[in-house]
Chain A
């Protein structure tokens, strides 16, 4: 993609100069205030007003300026070293999980889009484990970059839309915007966000203490006031920095993204989808909003186009962005909105709904090492037994002959054509897990559920799931629910509500965790979704009995009417 390098480099350098000036101003201001206070104090109390002026003279100004320059240089140097990693920690972005299908797809898309730039950058895909819909990018001076998406975005966007969003973020990297915003966030953003969070916490905590004890309240008020003062000053200077970042950056990145993927419609669709959802307000600090494709907070200013709005807003109106993109494809916003809605309807219909009743599967009786007949087993159960070999004696359950031409009821497993997949791991595709079912004592099977690896027992159909991956499962909508499950879910929830109070405290579970062998705890999944499950308190594994995982997914999906 032809972007002249010198142009970008120049842009970067002027931007850094502006940052430097703002930071110098910040320290000069601080030094002046502190200097005046010190000198005034000295004049009034030590000299008792005998000599000199209480105000700072020319030498005072020069000293303040020198201090400001030095401090600013240190500050900038500190912020610029490893800025990306620092901001990333503040955003709570994780590496991708290579076992997760959605994460792998995201990494693939990032890789593909990077090819469109001529492979100039080293882009690492990261994930914010949040249900919000948003995406961001960061970059450093050496061409290393991060492109991040939230779990919600991965679940709700289709491949093309995700590709369009990634292209938008890569465009920010290519035009050098990401580098500027990363440094901007690192200069003041991290500090402001921390102070913001502290003030928030202190306000809530302070109120309680205020009412309980009079003692110490004064100190808290002074502390709060100082925190507030620091926050306002940093916010003001951070405002200056954001001021220098034009909102047109986003329009430019949209345009470059289209040049990368040649697909304006998908980007427009993606913007619409993101704009309709929760973008992370309250979770992503507002001081990092410049990094994101849409402002996490829905601000009225972003949708207006007055002179002041253009100055202060960091994101252009969503409708305008959608309109420009739609016009590139010779269509209009109404069509795009219509397409998104009908796509959602199609997706709802395409969900995989398990059949109401399970089909009759063929079963077999198997003779084990001790020459005892065991069973009957279905083929997926036979697969995990461990002692089934091609030489094992088998007979069909129900008395049918194994080999119809010979008419034999008894045979070895290798003679039974239907059992062949058990011995052909390539075709069978079932992966025996390292975990054992806590109730059946049989090996679990690794399975893919909504793109997340889970472990299912083929005998009792219970599942073992890493609790940290539950957000992803509940967000994704490949699997549908049949009527039986819907009824079961409503019933379970109702039962749970009746017992909410006397079963609120988890009690010891009858078995140990299949992962770490710690005793599990049986209790409600959460206080909102009243399904009794077994949780491991040490390794965050959860054991769901048959249907319980699906019930929880159903309950979560049907409880939030907002999305």
Chain B
């Protein structure tokens, strides 16, 4: 009799363990997938920047430092690895692009340039995609972290050394503001 009860309890534990394990596998994969989604958009942004700089160069003869900052920030964003460093580098890049566009405001010829206009449109769109994929990633990370914190999954997490994932955060208050896009 006691043997049967113990067997039943053991069976229940094994079933629960399998369920929790699978849920972890699912969440961790989704987080990985969402991060890959961000990376696709970031890479797209990195690809656009050389063209942008090339186009702007002709007009911004006296703004070499701004352009160099963009190129430097881009190179840094490509070189670093690891989520935390990457976030920092990407935020830097966003800042430098912002100052480039602010400078470009003073050059009507550059603003009217067709290549520049289409690049700017595409960059705006990519920027939106980065923020959307970031939302997606953060949603999944929150879900995973919450699961790791809860009981009994925290036991399984400890056992397999599952760690919490980092949120992709924006550090600068000015960047936090949603840019108003006009058309």
**Closest residue of chain A to B135, judged by CB?**
A116
Contacts of B136 in A (CB 8 A): 1, 115-118
Please classify the interface of chain B as helix (H, G, I), strand (E, B), loop, or mixed, using the class held by over half of its residues. Answer: helix
Contact: B37 with A2, CB < 8 Å? no
Contact: A118 with B34, CB < 8 Å? yes
Interface residues of B in 113-143 (CB under 8 A from A): 113-115, 121, 125, 128-129, 132-133, 135-136, 139-140, 143
Please, how many angstroms separate the alpha-carbon atoms of A195 and B136 in the complex?
45
Q: Is A374 an interface residue (CB 8 A)?
A: no
Contact: A105 with B37, CB < 8 Å? no
Q: Is A112 an interface residue (CB 8 A)?
A: yes
Interface size class of B (residues with CB under 8 A): 20 to 34
Please, how many angstroms separate the alpha-carbon atoms of A1 and B112 in the complex?
38
Encode B135-166 as 1/0 by CB contact (under 8 A) with A: 11001100100000000000000000000000
Add 5 more A-B contacts to A112-B128, A159-B183 (CB < 8 A). Answer: A160-B181, A260-B135, A261-B132, A426-B113, A426-B115
**Closest residue of chain A to B27, judged by CB?**
A2
Please, how many angstroms separate the alpha-carbon atoms of A117 and B181 in the complex?
22
**Interface hub of B112, B115, B121, B129 (most chain A Cβ within 10 A):** B129
Contacts A119-B37, A159-B183; A111 near B125 (Cβ below 8 A): yes
Contact: B129 with A2, CB < 8 Å? no
Interface residues of B in 29-75 (CB under 8 A from A): 30, 33-34, 37, 41
**Closest residue of chain A to B181, judged by CB?**
A159
Contacts A2-B140, A260-B132; A115 near B183 (Cβ below 8 A): no
**Closest residue of chain A to B125, judged by CB?**
A108
Interface size class of A (residues with CB under 8 A): 20 to 34
Give the interface of A toward B (CB within 8 A): 1-2, 105, 108, 111-113, 115-119, 158-160, 259-263, 426-427, 429
How far is the CB of B29 from the nearest CB of chain A, in Å?
A: 11
Contact: B113 with A427, CB < 8 Å? yes
Q: Is B178 an interface residue (CB 8 A)?
A: yes
**Can you give 26 contacting A-B residue pairs, CB < 8 Å?**
A1-B136, A2-B30, A2-B140, A2-B143, A105-B183, A108-B125, A111-B125, A111-B129, A112-B125, A112-B129, A115-B129, A115-B136, A116-B133, A116-B135, A118-B30, A118-B37, A118-B133, A118-B136, A119-B37, A158-B183, A159-B182, A159-B183, A260-B135, A262-B135, A426-B114, A426-B115
Contacts of A115 in B (CB 8 A): 37, 41, 129, 132-133, 136
Contacts of A118 in B (CB 8 A): 30, 33-34, 37, 133, 136
Contact: B178 with A263, CB < 8 Å? yes
Please, how many angstroms separate the alpha-carbon atoms of A1 and B142 in the complex?
11
Please, how many angstroms separate the alpha-carbon atoms of A238 and B68 in the complex?
64
Contacts A112-B132, A115-B129; A429 near B112 (Cβ below 8 A): yes
**Interface hub of A1, A158, A263 (most chain B Cβ within 10 A):** A1
Please, how many angstroms separate the alpha-carbon atoms of A429 and B115 in the complex?
10
Contacts of B133 in A (CB 8 A): 115-116, 118
Contact: A116 with B132, CB < 8 Å? yes
Contact: A113 with B132, CB < 8 Å? yes
Please, how many angstroms separate the alpha-carbon atoms of A426 and B117 in the complex?
12
Please, how many angstroms separate the alpha-carbon atoms of A221 and B162 in the complex?
75
Contacts of A263 in B (CB 8 A): 178
**Closest residue of chain A to B126, judged by CB?**
A112
Give the interface of B toward A (CB within 8 A): 30, 33-34, 37, 41, 109, 112-115, 121, 125, 128-129, 132-133, 135-136, 139-140, 143, 178, 181-183
Contacts of A105 in B (CB 8 A): 183
Contact: A2 with B135, CB < 8 Å? no
Q: Tell me which of A113, A158, A429 contacts B114 (CB under 8 A).
A: A429
Contacts of A108 in B (CB 8 A): 121, 125
Contacts of B41 in A (CB 8 A): 115
Please, how many angstroms separate the alpha-carbon atoms of A115 and B114 in the complex?
27
Contact: B178 with A1, CB < 8 Å? no
Task: For the complex of A and B, list the 8 residue pairs with the smallest distance between their C-beta atoms, beginning with the closest.
Answer: A116-B132, A115-B129, A115-B132, A112-B128, A108-B125, A118-B136, A159-B181, A115-B133
How far is the CB of B133 from the nearest CB of chain A, in Å?
A: 5
Please, how many angstroms separate the alpha-carbon atoms of A400 and B109 in the complex?
26
How far is the CB of A16 from the nearest CB of chain B, in Å?
A: 25
How far is the CB of B120 from the nearest CB of chain A, in Å?
A: 13
Contact: B183 with A2, CB < 8 Å? no
Please, how many angstroms separate the alpha-carbon atoms of A15 and B143 in the complex?
28
Contacts of A158 in B (CB 8 A): 183
Please, how many angstroms separate the alpha-carbon atoms of A160 and B179 in the complex?
10
Contacts of A159 in B (CB 8 A): 181-183
Contacts of B182 in A (CB 8 A): 159
Please, how many angstroms separate the alpha-carbon atoms of A159 and B129 in the complex?
14
How far is the CB of B47 from the nearest CB of chain A, in Å?
A: 16
Contacts of B114 in A (CB 8 A): 426, 429
How far is the CB of A74 from the nearest CB of chain B, in Å?
A: 38
Contacts of B115 in A (CB 8 A): 426
Contacts of B143 in A (CB 8 A): 2
Please, how many angstroms separate the alpha-carbon atoms of A259 and B136 in the complex?
9
Please, how many angstroms separate the alpha-carbon atoms of A119 and B114 in the complex?
30
Contacts of B109 in A (CB 8 A): 427
How far is the CB of A154 from the nearest CB of chain B, in Å?
A: 11
Contacts of B37 in A (CB 8 A): 115, 118-119
Contacts of A427 in B (CB 8 A): 109, 113
Please, how many angstroms separate the alpha-carbon atoms of A105 and B132 in the complex?
17
Contact: A2 with B132, CB < 8 Å? no
**Closest residue of chain B to A118, judged by CB?**
B136
Contacts of A116 in B (CB 8 A): 132-133, 135-136
**Closest residue of chain B to A425, judged by CB?**
B114
How far is the CB of B150 from the nearest CB of chain A, in Å?
A: 15
How far is the CB of B180 from the nearest CB of chain A, in Å?
A: 8
How far is the CB of A349 from the nearest CB of chain B, in Å?
A: 14
How far is the CB of B89 from the nearest CB of chain A, in Å?
A: 21
How far is the CB of A171 from the nearest CB of chain B, in Å?
A: 13
Please, how many angstroms separate the alpha-carbon atoms of A108 and B121 in the complex?
10
**Closest residue of chain A to B137, judged by CB?**
A118
Please, how many angstroms separate the alpha-carbon atoms of A105 and B118 in the complex?
12
Contacts of A1 in B (CB 8 A): 135-136, 139
**Closest residue of chain B to A108, judged by CB?**
B125
Please, how many angstroms separate the alpha-carbon atoms of A151 and B183 in the complex?
16
Please, how many angstroms separate the alpha-carbon atoms of A118 and B36 in the complex?
10
**Closest residue of chain B to A431, judged by CB?**
B114
Please, how many angstroms separate the alpha-carbon atoms of A427 and B133 in the complex?
36
**Closest residue of chain A to B33, judged by CB?**
A118
How far is the CB of A423 from the nearest CB of chain B, in Å?
A: 16
Please, how many angstroms separate the alpha-carbon atoms of A111 and B121 in the complex?
14
